Chains A and B, each alone.
Chain A
């Protein structure tokens, strides 16, 4: 009996979906819009995260060593810095490496290279590039470097220059901007998700409002609430699934286009590749949201008219 009931409910859900073509069409439109907002938010947050990440990546502290500093001393200091918990990464560029880089950078600039040749030996300094885990941690790292007396050895200065204070203002402002950008992003996402969910719920409620006479007839014929409600939920489920499929398909060409646009200022990021590799996850989120929106809003909307 239960199976017969389920079979009948699913069948009449399908038939209603098909016969109320216009109603189904409008519902699908609304749910699709909402899912478009969801998907856009997902990719927007990926985009911003990648930008913020790139900006964060550009910030570092450079420690320039005196040309007299020996390599073992520098490496020892590197080890101490790496052991700090705020530090994510330390890069060592030796004097020889710095010279090579310099030559490659100026390979078309004859006069500079000639000038370099006229000097005795290598005038360039060894550098440690220090990256913090969070931009706000740079000042504590800088403080550590300055207080540390390892920076000088046997009264001869090991470190010639730390370029933190020059960058301090920029770094501070940047970390504030990053912070508020993240907060604003989360607030915007919550706002848009809320607005689109409310719009969908109300639209489906209005659509089902047109069926209220039908529902009252069903009640008079003696149909149980379950038997009246579930075909609507099945139709709602179909709205959700179809909307999700439309959204997932439509985003392929959209991302392809967006990718071309952003390629100019974000070379590392490929949204189409991202979509392809994370398709399973995105599919689950979008289809899940679609099913939830369609089915739950239908369920709640019908409930109003069942109280006779």
Chain B
């Protein structure tokens, strides 16, 4: 489904974020990427969202080179990916309901679909009672659950979660991972980056370990080894 082909990224100041990365992710996999800060995890994910361009090499999504997409196709492509971030990235002036509705509107869904799906998906992440709260009225765990609801509402093929538990306490961390696992069980591919040993050991899935912009391990049933 996703294929990184000899991807390297060098920034303007000659610092090398990624060097010669190649790997494949199959559909319905749950892949964790671990590594110290600055190991290149986030850069790797930004490539997939076309937020960054590789200096050399290419990234394929279902045999389409992402970085050669035209702008209007890029929007369509991004709607197939749900994103979750450490800092939540909710729209601050929109309620939980509107944040999710916005993603659906952007995808061109009808008002009826929006009215039906948004409460449903918020119910899924246990936020059925916080529909009309603004992000600043929600706790960290609740914000992240809104972000997850937004990521899954358009039924994406892939969810990218960049350190989604980085700002959360252990109980909320556990809850978020449980939800992600459930989404994966329903058939959505998930790429997760994390620092959290407990998360990796609990998942017991494929683990890619990065160091200094290179992949140093890729284990089918991985543990947190650093």
A contact set with B: CB distance below 8 Å: 1, 4, 8, 15-16, 19-20, 213-214, 217-225, 227, 308
Contact = CB atoms under 8 A, between A and B. Distances in A.
A219 B77 CA distance: 11
A273 B102 CA distance: 51
DSSP class of A's interface residues: helix, strand, loop or mixed? helix
Interface stretch (B68-76, B175-183, B197-205, B214-222): B68-76
Contacts of B150: 221
A74 to B, nearest CB: 82
Closest 5 CB pairs of A and B: A222-B79, A223-B106, A222-B78, A221-B103, A19-B93
B111 A4 contact: yes
Contacts of A221: 78-79, 83, 102-103, 106, 150
Interface string B105-137: 111101100000000000000000000000000
Nearest to B81: A222
B93 A20 contact: yes
Contacts of B79: 221-222
B15 to A, nearest CB: 21
A4 B106 CA distance: 12
10 contacts: A1-B108, A220-B51, A220-B78, A221-B102, A221-B106, A222-B76, A222-B81, A223-B75, A224-B72, A308-B51
Interface in B74-107: 75-79, 81, 83, 89-93, 102-103, 105-107
Interface of B: 49, 51, 71-72, 75-79, 81, 83, 89-93, 102-103, 105-108, 110-111, 150, 154
Contacts, number: 53
Contacts of A4: 110-111
A222 B76 CA distance: 7
Nearest to B160: A220
A220 B102 contact: no
A214 B72 contact: no
Contacts of A225: 71, 75
Given A4-B111, A20-B93, A308-B51, A224 B106 contact: yes
A136 B91 CA distance: 67
A224 B154 CA distance: 15
Which one of A8, A218, A220 has the highest number of Cβ atoms from chain B below 10 Å of its Cβ?
A220
Contacts of A20: 93
Contacts of A224: 72, 75, 106
A220 B111 contact: no
Contacts of A223: 75, 102, 105-106
A227 B105 contact: yes
A171 to B, nearest CB: 66
